[in-house]
Amino acid sequence: MQLHTIQQGGFSWVLDQDDVETILKSKKCIDRKFFKDILDKIGIGDSLITTSGEKWASHRKVILPTFKLSVLRNFISVFQIKSFELVENWASMAKGSEMDIFLELCNSSLQMTCSTLLGVNIEHNIKSLLSESPVLSEKEIQNETLFMIIGGYETTATLISFATMLLAFHPEIQNKAFQELSDIFGNDQRRPATLQDF
């Protein structure tokens, strides 16, 4: 593997997605001391991002089924509904003028994340996890949920803001994206999206 990185602020930033995958799958790269030190300072406990070694492996084993394709497929309708609401809010707020979309994206992403993570019967899931798997305590389950919410909404909002900015800078790509959506949805822009549409 030839690692493609840039150095900035004392960190190496990995540029190639295949390199990132290799690193994240390596058992040698599961020490989370850096994140743990930061989060311990603000009083947030252990979770998948801060633990390492066997504790990390056991947490990951319990949490991984949450991200199976069959589970994620059910989120498409939530994403679509919240996206429609976001566009309607932007239309009423902007009224033809410029606006800062980041805070709106944060709010929308937080709603999507909470709807998908908490839209299931959390009490049942926590009781089930506690009874079936003594690996995670109730506090650890709370910490994992908190980190999924924080990680899910903020990263999503940042990514969508950046993608939106790039589309604005490159109208020819924006037109191609619009055309692709038109080809898929035709005149029925509010048709429920399916996994096959992607």
pLDDT (mean) for 171-187: 93
Q: Could you tell me the two tokens for 36?
A: 């743990």
At position 174, the amino acid (one-letter code) is Q
* Percentage of residues of the chain with pLDDT beyond 90: 9
More confident residue, 174 or 80: 174
Global pTM exceeds 0.75? no
Average of per-residue pLDDT values in the chain: 76
Q: Where are the domains of the chain?
A: 1-29, 75-197
Segment among 73-77, 150-154, 156-160 with least mean pLDDT: 150-154
pLDDT at residue 66 in the model: 72
Summarize the confidence of residues 126-138 as an average pLDDT: 63
Half-sphere CA count of 161, side-chain side, radius 13 A: 17
Give the pLDDT score at 123.
47
Structure confidence at residue 11 (pLDDT): 63
Contact (Cβ atoms closer than 8 angstroms) between residue 147 and residue 49: yes
**What tokens were used for 20?**
């990132």
Residue 147 sits at the vertex; the CA angle it makes with 23 and 53, to the nearest 5 degrees, is 45
Min mean pLDDT across 143-152, 166-175, 189-198 is at 143-152
pLDDT band, very low/low/confident/very high, at 130 (cuts 50, 70, 90): low
Q: Using CA atoms, how far apart are residues 80 and 116, in angstroms rounded to an integer? A: 12
Residue 126 to residue 132: CA distance in whole angstroms: 10
Average pLDDT value for residue range 34-39: 64
- Look up residue 87 and give its amino acid: V
